[in-house]
Amino acid sequence: MDTESKTSPPDKASEMNRIVRWAPLHAFGAEHFHIQTTAEGFLAQGTVVGSRGNNPYGIFYRINISADWLVRGFEVRETGSSHVLKLTHDGHGHWSSPGGPVPSLDGCIDIDIAATPFTNTLPIRRLRLQEGATQAISVAYIPVPSLQPLPIDQQYTCLEAKLYRYENLTNRYSAELVVDDDGLVMDYPNAFKRA
Protein backbone atom coordinates (compact mmCIF):
# COMPACT_ATOMS: atom_id res chain seq x y z
CA MET A 1 0.00 0.00 0.00
CA ASP A 2 1.63 3.21 -1.20
CA THR A 3 -0.20 6.11 0.44
CA GLU A 4 2.19 8.63 -1.08
CA SER A 5 4.70 7.99 -3.78
CA LYS A 6 7.00 10.96 -3.21
CA THR A 7 10.61 9.85 -3.04
CA SER A 8 13.97 11.54 -3.13
CA PRO A 9 16.45 11.05 -5.99
CA PRO A 10 18.16 7.62 -6.12
CA ASP A 11 20.44 6.91 -3.16
CA LYS A 12 23.31 4.98 -4.73
CA ALA A 13 26.31 3.64 -2.88
CA SER A 14 28.65 6.25 -1.51
CA GLU A 15 31.85 5.47 0.34
CA MET A 16 31.07 4.23 3.81
CA ASN A 17 33.22 2.64 6.48
CA ARG A 18 31.59 3.04 9.89
CA ILE A 19 31.62 1.36 13.27
CA VAL A 20 28.63 1.94 15.54
CA ARG A 21 27.63 0.49 18.91
CA TRP A 22 24.12 0.20 20.29
CA ALA A 23 22.77 -0.88 23.67
CA PRO A 24 19.26 -2.10 24.47
CA LEU A 25 17.40 0.06 26.97
CA HIS A 26 15.55 -2.57 29.01
CA ALA A 27 17.91 -5.54 29.16
CA PHE A 28 21.58 -6.40 29.37
CA GLY A 29 23.32 -6.36 26.01
CA ALA A 30 25.31 -4.56 23.37
CA GLU A 31 25.96 -4.57 19.64
CA HIS A 32 29.18 -3.89 17.77
CA PHE A 33 28.31 -3.03 14.14
CA HIS A 34 30.39 -2.34 11.04
CA ILE A 35 29.28 -1.27 7.55
CA GLN A 36 31.55 -0.75 4.58
CA THR A 37 31.25 -0.08 0.87
CA THR A 38 31.89 -3.03 -1.46
CA ALA A 39 32.04 -3.38 -5.26
CA GLU A 40 28.36 -4.44 -5.23
CA GLY A 41 27.06 -2.00 -2.60
CA PHE A 42 27.53 -2.53 1.12
CA LEU A 43 28.48 -5.22 3.62
CA ALA A 44 26.95 -4.86 7.09
CA GLN A 45 28.10 -7.03 10.00
CA GLY A 46 27.13 -7.05 13.64
CA THR A 47 27.77 -9.00 16.81
CA VAL A 48 25.00 -8.82 19.40
CA VAL A 49 24.83 -10.14 22.96
CA GLY A 50 21.61 -9.86 24.90
CA SER A 51 18.79 -11.72 26.58
CA ARG A 52 15.12 -12.48 25.96
CA GLY A 53 13.49 -13.03 29.32
CA ASN A 54 15.98 -15.13 31.30
CA ASN A 55 17.58 -16.58 28.17
CA PRO A 56 20.93 -15.05 27.20
CA TYR A 57 21.95 -15.18 23.54
CA GLY A 58 24.73 -14.13 21.23
CA ILE A 59 24.43 -13.73 17.47
CA PHE A 60 26.57 -12.67 14.55
CA TYR A 61 24.96 -11.39 11.36
CA ARG A 62 26.22 -10.47 7.92
CA ILE A 63 24.08 -8.71 5.29
CA ASN A 64 25.03 -8.16 1.64
CA ILE A 65 23.26 -5.05 0.33
CA SER A 66 23.10 -3.69 -3.22
CA ALA A 67 24.04 -0.10 -4.08
CA ASP A 68 20.34 0.84 -4.00
CA TRP A 69 19.87 -0.74 -0.54
CA LEU A 70 18.21 -4.03 -1.50
CA VAL A 71 19.19 -7.00 0.66
CA ARG A 72 20.80 -9.59 -1.64
CA GLY A 73 21.58 -12.13 1.06
CA PHE A 74 22.17 -12.51 4.76
CA GLU A 75 23.34 -14.91 7.42
CA VAL A 76 22.49 -14.92 11.12
CA ARG A 77 24.49 -17.30 13.29
CA GLU A 78 23.87 -18.10 16.95
CA THR A 79 27.21 -18.09 18.75
CA GLY A 80 28.21 -21.29 20.48
CA SER A 81 25.90 -23.46 18.37
CA SER A 82 25.39 -24.68 14.82
CA HIS A 83 22.11 -22.74 14.56
CA VAL A 84 22.35 -20.65 11.35
CA LEU A 85 19.83 -18.90 9.11
CA LYS A 86 21.17 -18.15 5.64
CA LEU A 87 18.95 -16.72 2.88
CA THR A 88 19.48 -15.11 -0.52
CA HIS A 89 17.11 -12.67 -2.23
CA ASP A 90 16.46 -12.17 -5.95
CA GLY A 91 15.56 -8.50 -5.44
CA HIS A 92 11.92 -9.15 -6.36
CA GLY A 93 10.55 -10.60 -3.12
CA HIS A 94 11.66 -14.23 -3.54
CA TRP A 95 13.95 -15.82 -0.95
CA SER A 96 15.97 -19.03 -1.02
CA SER A 97 17.82 -21.03 1.60
CA PRO A 98 20.57 -23.56 0.87
CA GLY A 99 17.71 -26.11 0.79
CA GLY A 100 15.65 -24.27 -1.84
CA PRO A 101 12.95 -21.58 -2.14
CA VAL A 102 11.25 -20.15 0.97
CA PRO A 103 7.72 -19.37 -0.32
CA SER A 104 6.48 -18.24 3.11
CA LEU A 105 8.55 -15.05 2.60
CA ASP A 106 7.32 -14.28 -0.93
CA GLY A 107 6.71 -10.56 -1.29
CA CYS A 108 9.11 -9.58 1.50
CA ILE A 109 11.73 -7.12 0.27
CA ASP A 110 13.48 -6.07 3.49
CA ILE A 111 14.51 -7.96 6.62
CA ASP A 112 14.08 -7.07 10.30
CA ILE A 113 16.43 -8.85 12.71
CA ALA A 114 14.83 -8.35 16.13
CA ALA A 115 18.08 -7.81 18.03
CA THR A 116 19.42 -4.87 16.00
CA PRO A 117 18.22 -1.38 15.04
CA PHE A 118 20.38 -1.55 11.90
CA THR A 119 17.71 -3.35 9.90
CA ASN A 120 15.48 -0.25 10.21
CA THR A 121 18.11 1.52 8.10
CA LEU A 122 17.43 -0.80 5.14
CA PRO A 123 13.92 0.47 4.26
CA ILE A 124 14.78 4.02 5.32
CA ARG A 125 17.61 4.13 2.77
CA ARG A 126 15.89 2.01 0.10
CA LEU A 127 12.57 3.91 0.11
CA ARG A 128 14.14 7.42 0.12
CA LEU A 129 10.89 8.93 1.40
CA GLN A 130 10.46 12.68 1.25
CA GLU A 131 9.01 14.55 4.21
CA GLY A 132 5.37 13.56 4.76
CA ALA A 133 5.55 10.44 2.57
CA THR A 134 4.44 7.03 3.88
CA GLN A 135 5.13 3.53 2.55
CA ALA A 136 3.81 0.15 3.74
CA ILE A 137 6.12 -2.83 3.16
CA SER A 138 6.35 -6.56 3.84
CA VAL A 139 9.48 -7.74 5.62
CA ALA A 140 11.03 -11.02 6.69
CA TYR A 141 11.11 -10.71 10.49
CA ILE A 142 13.87 -12.70 12.21
CA PRO A 143 13.15 -13.32 15.92
CA VAL A 144 16.15 -13.92 18.17
CA PRO A 145 17.25 -16.44 19.27
CA SER A 146 14.87 -18.77 17.35
CA LEU A 147 15.93 -17.41 13.92
CA GLN A 148 12.65 -18.69 12.41
CA PRO A 149 11.70 -16.05 9.79
CA LEU A 150 8.12 -14.94 9.28
CA PRO A 151 6.49 -12.27 7.12
CA ILE A 152 5.13 -9.15 8.80
CA ASP A 153 3.75 -5.84 7.54
CA GLN A 154 5.45 -2.59 8.46
CA GLN A 155 5.10 1.05 7.52
CA TYR A 156 7.59 3.93 7.43
CA THR A 157 6.75 7.63 7.39
CA CYS A 158 9.30 10.41 6.94
CA LEU A 159 8.25 13.00 9.52
CA GLU A 160 11.16 15.32 8.77
CA ALA A 161 14.81 15.02 7.82
CA LYS A 162 16.38 12.33 10.04
CA LEU A 163 13.09 11.48 11.81
CA TYR A 164 10.94 8.49 10.78
CA ARG A 165 7.89 6.83 12.23
CA TYR A 166 8.25 3.04 12.16
CA GLU A 167 5.05 1.02 12.53
CA ASN A 168 4.64 -2.72 12.86
CA LEU A 169 1.21 -3.11 11.28
CA THR A 170 0.97 -6.73 12.43
CA ASN A 171 1.03 -5.94 16.17
CA ARG A 172 0.25 -2.17 16.04
CA TYR A 173 3.58 -1.13 17.58
CA SER A 174 5.11 2.20 16.54
CA ALA A 175 8.18 4.28 17.36
CA GLU A 176 9.76 7.49 16.10
CA LEU A 177 13.35 6.83 15.04
CA VAL A 178 16.04 9.50 14.96
CA VAL A 179 18.74 8.65 12.40
CA ASP A 180 22.08 10.17 11.41
CA ASP A 181 23.24 11.33 7.96
CA ASP A 182 23.76 7.69 6.88
CA GLY A 183 20.31 6.58 8.06
CA LEU A 184 21.75 4.69 11.05
CA VAL A 185 19.58 4.82 14.17
CA MET A 186 20.67 7.29 16.84
CA ASP A 187 17.64 6.93 19.12
CA TYR A 188 14.98 4.21 19.12
CA PRO A 189 12.71 5.13 22.07
CA ASN A 190 12.20 2.36 24.64
CA ALA A 191 14.38 -0.04 22.64
CA PHE A 192 17.94 1.02 21.67
CA LYS A 193 20.39 3.88 22.03
CA ARG A 194 23.83 4.58 20.64
CA ALA A 195 26.48 3.41 23.07
Separation between Cα atoms, residue 169 and residue 154, nearest integer Å: 5
Domains of the chain: which residue ranges? Answer: 17-194
Q: Is the dihedral of CA 148, 155, 178, 72 positive or negative?
A: positive
One digit per residue, the tens of pLDDT, for the chain of length 195 reads 444 444 444 444 568 999 999 999 988 899 999 999 999 999 999 999 999 888 899 999 999 999 999 999 999 999 988 999 999 999 999 999 999 999 999 999 999 999 999 999 999 999 999 999 999 999 999 999 999 999 999 999 999 999 999 999 999 999 999 999 999 999 999 999 998
Distance CA 110, CA 138 (A): 7
pTM: 0.91
CB 86 within 8 A of CB 78: no
